[in-house]
Amino acid sequence: MSFEFIKLLPTPDEIREQYPLPARLIELKRIRDSEIRAVITGESNKFLVIIGPCSADNEDSVCEYIERLARINDKVKDKLILIPRIYTNKPRTTGDGYKGIIHQPDPSKREDFLAGIIAMRKMHIRAISESGLTAADEMLYPENWGYVSDILSYVAIGARSVEDQQHRLTVSGFDVPAGMKNPTSGDFSIMLNSVYAAQQPHSFIYRGWAVKTNGNELAHTVLRGSVNKHGQSLPNYHYEDLNTLLELYGERDLINPACIIDSNHNNSNKQFKQQIRIVKEVLHSRKLNADIHKLVKGVMVESYLEEGCQKIGGGVYGKSITDPCLGWEDTERLICDIAEYE
pLDDT confidence of residue 213 = 98
pLDDT confidence of residue 204 = 98
pLDDT (mean) for 52-65: 97
pLDDT confidence of residue 304 = 98
H helices present in 104-222, as ranges: 113-131, 165-171, 188-199
- Domain of residue 41, CATH code: 3.20.20.70
Measured CA to CA, the distance from residue 76 to residue 66 in angstroms comes to: 15
Binning pLDDT at 50, 70 and 90, where does residue 228 land?
very high
Q: Which residues contact 229 (CB under 8 A, 6 or more apart)?
A: none
Write the pLDDT tens digit of every residue in 290-313. Answer: 999 999 999 999 999 999 999 999
Question: Which one is predicted more confidently, 99 or 239?
Answer: 239
Write the pLDDT tens digit of every residue in 195-215. Answer: 999 999 999 999 999 999 999
pLDDT confidence of residue 91 = 82
pLDDT (mean) for 41-63: 97
pLDDT confidence of residue 1 = 64
H or E element, residue 72: helix 59-76
- CA 159, distance to chain mean position in Å, is 12
Name the pTM for this structure: 0.97
Whether the predicted pLDDT of 97 surpasses 90 = no
Please report the beta strands in 124-275, taking only residues with DSSP state E, as ranges in sequence order.
Answer: 136-138, 154-157, 178-181, 203-206, 209-212, 219-223, 226-227, 233-234, 259-262
pLDDT confidence of residue 219 = 98
Q: Which residues pair with 138 in a beta bridge?
A: 156
115: domain range? 24-341
Residue type at position 9: L
Are 116 and 105 in contact, with CB atoms under 8 Å apart? Answer: yes
Measured CA to CA, the distance from residue 57 to residue 321 in angstroms comes to: 8
Q: Is 9 part of a structural domain of the chain?
A: no
Q: Which residues contact 303 (CB under 8 A, 6 or more apart)?
A: 51, 52, 53, 275, 325, 326, 327, 328, 330, 331, 334
Q: Is 99 part of a structural domain of the chain?
A: yes
Whether the predicted pLDDT of 12 surpasses 90 = yes
Q: How many domains does the chain have?
A: 1
Q: Which residues contact 223 (CB under 8 A, 6 or more apart)?
A: 181, 182, 236, 237, 241, 242, 245, 259, 260, 261, 262, 267
Q: Is 15 part of a structural domain of the chain?
A: no
Whether the predicted pLDDT of 189 surpasses 80 = yes
Are 67 and 131 in contact, with CB atoms under 8 Å apart? Answer: yes
By percentage, how much of the chain surpasses pLDDT 90?
Answer: 94
Note the maximum CA span of the chain.
60
Q: Is 12 part of a structural domain of the chain?
A: no
Q: Is 247 part of a structural domain of the chain?
A: yes
Are 153 and 48 in contact, with CB atoms under 8 Å apart? Answer: no
Are 125 and 21 in contact, with CB atoms under 8 Å apart? Answer: yes
Please report the beta strands in the chain, taking only residues with DSSP state E, as ranges in sequence order.
Answer: 47-52, 80-84, 136-138, 154-157, 178-181, 203-206, 209-212, 219-223, 226-227, 233-234, 259-262, 296-302, 306-309, 319-320
